Amino acid sequence: MKIRELINDLEKYKDSEVILQGWIRNSRFGKNVGFIELNDGSTFKNLQIVVSKDIENYDELDSQNLSASLEVEGKFVLTGNERNPYEVQATRISVLGESSDKFPIQKKRQPLEYMRTIPHLRARTNTYRAVFKVRSLLAYALHKFFQENGFTYVHPPIITASDAEGAGEMFNVTTLSPEEYPTKEDGSIDYSKDFFGKSAHLTVSGQLEAEDLALALGDVYTFGPTFRAEVSNTPRHAAEFWMLEPEMAFTDYNRAMDVAENMIKYAIDYVLENAKEETAFFNERIDEGLIDRLNKIRNADFARITYTKAVELLEEADEKFEYPVKWGIDLQTEHERYLSEKIVGGPVFVTDYPKEIKAFYMKRNDDGKTVAAFDMLVPGVGELIGGSQREERYDELVKSMEENGLNVDDYGNYLDLRRFGTVVHSGFGLGFERALMYVTGIKNIRDVIAYPRYVNAFTDKN
């Protein structure tokens, strides 16, 4: 097979002969000339191929269907046309793989709900090609930010015996046969006969292991898949998703908020600069205020208010919320959006939440009622990031575990961090897909994951 040029690199081949390979995204043929829109995945915009009647297989090319694959040889030229500034004037075209008129994605725009039924093909549409390109760029931008700021990329286990969030919404991992589980005298499953010798699960967070490594390496971050067995069919929840979790030694939650703010601005800036065609497409087809909103975020000074003050402002607001506001509740999306969009008018960190609604590992404040936690709220979405200063005091951490109903013996390694050289440390978590939804304007998490996993995913037709 001959070496091909990528469409994305063609500008350096002006007035040169090139060889391309790609798929038909559109075509129209007349009596003497035909036009094929070709895409090879290297760029968002299709390349126009001009097909002269003189090409020996002109009639064969005229009969090709959408998504047929071609090899094109011809001259790459500038046209002076604003809509199609360059094209390839073909001298030879070979059909590599035919398609069919039954190809389920035709020229008319299809609803995203329909596209979810054909995840193996939907990446061939403009929307999903743009989504997955931006997904790649956003992941790279986040890695780039942390690498440039001296963080070490670490890899926590996917299979674990601990529940970092204490919520119990975990997928069990076992080699035991469900037809003949070994049981103890009390009728419970005897996991000592299992592969790991005790109950094991898919991880819900890499935080606990990241803390281990931060207290040796300083600033670290994890970026990988996490799992929640939530029976939820909302547009914002998935059973398998990616989390980015920085953990920083010798750092209080104020510096952690600084890092979170700088990270979001850096990532947005990178996407806007490196995915101009894709973001313009999203702004036109998905969310017409997208680019303006993202520019406001990257140029904003993020406000900071306490949870107590936020509740006061919400209670005073001339707004009837579906969920009534009072001190002690976990803020709902409607409250978060009202805070960022109406009260603050931009991104805001809400800090110092009631300890009863936050995880066991968060640092207890001196008031005895709140913890040193924070959520980043942004217009259009609500919560984008959640984080906290971790409880570094041994006795206070044990007390918190007991109050949250956790078995202290299961967290011996975690407690060792407080026994041997404890330090103030903090971190946060960014749900990668939610961040991707924010920078694309896509409203359903199932449309930013190539193969989404959710309750009944393998039986659902949508």
CA distance 198 to 145: 38
pLDDT at 168 over 70: no
Q: Say yes or no to pLDDT of 357 above 90.
A: yes
Pairing of strands 172-173, 69-78: unpaired
Helix, coil or strand: residue 322: coil
Mean pLDDT of 158-170: 77
pLDDT for residue 380: 87
Q: What share of the chain is helix, strand, coil (3-state, %, to 5)?
A: 35, 25, 40
pLDDT score of 11: 84
Residue with tokens 């389920």: 104
Distance separating alpha carbons of residues 358 and 165, to the nearest angstrom: 9
Residue 82 has a pLDDT of 79
Count of C-beta atoms within a 10 Å radius of residue 208? 20
Residue 165's pLDDT band (boundaries 50, 70, 90)? low
pLDDT of residue 167: 58
Residue type, 258: D
- Residue 59 half-sphere exposure, CB side, CA atoms within 13 Å? 0
What 3-state class would DSSP assign to 376? strand
Taking 80 as the threshold, does the pLDDT of residue 281 lie above it?
A: yes
Mean pLDDT, residues 283-293: 95
pLDDT band at 108 (very low <50, low <70, confident <90, very high): confident
> Each residue of 56-84: pLDDT tens digit?
999 999 999 999 999 999 999 988 887 88
**Percent of the chain, pLDDT > 70?**
98
Give the C-alpha separation, 17 to 14, whole Å. Answer: 9
Query: Measured between alpha carbons, how far is 378 from 189 in angstroms, rounded to an integer?
Result: 45
Q: Measure the CA–CA gap between 112 and 119, rounded to whole angstroms.
A: 11
pLDDT in tens, 363-385: 999 999 999 999 999 998 899 99
- Residues 338 and 317: beta-carbon distance below 8 Å: yes
CA distance 54 to 44: 30
| Widest distance between CA atoms in the chain | 84
Q: What is the pLDDT of residue 461?
A: 63
Cα–Cα distance measured from residue 338 to residue 317, given in angstroms and rounded to the nearest whole number: 9
Taking residues 142-155, report their average pLDDT.
98
Q: Has residue 316 got a pLDDT over 80?
A: yes
Residue 330 has pLDDT above 90, yes or no: yes
Rg over alpha carbons for the chain, rounded to the nearest Å, is 27
Contact 386, 374 (CB under 8 A): yes
Residues 134/271, Cβ–Cβ less than 8 Å: yes
Give the mean pLDDT of 328-337.
96
pLDDT in tens, 431-445: 999 999 999 999 999
Joined together, the tokens standing for residue 358 give 């936050």
pLDDT at 150: 98
Q: How far apart are CA 99 and CA 411, in angstroms?
A: 56
Residue 460 clears pLDDT 80, i.e. is over it = no
pLDDT bucket at 166, cuts 50 / 70 / 90: low
The model's confidence at residue 14, banded by pLDDT at 50, 70 and 90, is: confident
Cβ atoms of residues 235 and 437 within 8 Å: no
For the entire predicted model, the pTM comes to 0.94
- Is residue 116's pLDDT more than 80? yes
According to the model, what pLDDT value does residue 162 have? 76
Are 389 and 425 a contacting pair, CB within 8 Å? yes
In degrees, rounded to 5, the angle at the alpha carbon of residue 52 between the alpha carbons of residues 51 and 56 is 95
Q: How far is CA 454 from CA 2, 114, 227, 235, 413, in A?
A: 43, 17, 10, 11, 32
Q: Is the pLDDT score of 301 beyond 70?
A: yes
Q: What phi, psi does 421 have (nearest 5°)?
A: 75, 45
> What does each C-alpha distance from 243 to 20, 22, 207, 333, 358 come to in angstroms?
37, 34, 10, 20, 18
Q: What percent of the chain has pLDDT over 90?
A: 84
Q: What is the rounded distance in angstroms from the CA atom of residue 461 to the CA atom of residue 439?
A: 28
For 228-277, write each residue's pLDDT tens digit.
998 888 888 899 999 999 999 999 999 999 999 999 999 999 999 999 99
Nearest to 109 by CA among 291, 285, 276: 285
User: Which of residues 145 and 84 earns the better pLDDT score?
Assistant: 145
pLDDT in the model for residue 126: 95
Cα–Cα distances in angstroms (integers) from residue 106 to residues 27, 47, 284, 452, in the given order = 12, 18, 20, 23
- In the prediction, which pLDDT does 29 show? 96
Q: What is the token pair recorded at 14? A: 């002006």
What average pLDDT does the segment 126-153 reach?
A: 98
The pLDDT value recorded for residue 2 is 61
Tell me: the pLDDT tens digits for 19-57? 999 999 999 999 999 999 999 999 999 999 999 999 999
Residue 39 neighbours by CB distance under 10 Å: 20
Q: Is the pLDDT of residue 462 over 70?
A: no
Question: What's the average model confidence in pLDDT over 353-372?
Answer: 96
Helix/strand/coil (H/E/C) assignment for every residue in 160-214? ECCCCCCCCCCCEECCCCCCCCCECCCCCECHHHCCCCCCEEECCCCHHHHHHHH
Give residue 298's pLDDT band: very low, low, confident or very high (50, 70, 90). Answer: very high
Give the model's pLDDT for residue 234: 87
Rounded Cα–Cα distance for residues 375 and 381 (Å): 12
The overall average pLDDT reported for the chain is 94
Q: How many CB atoms lie within 10 A of CB 291?
A: 17
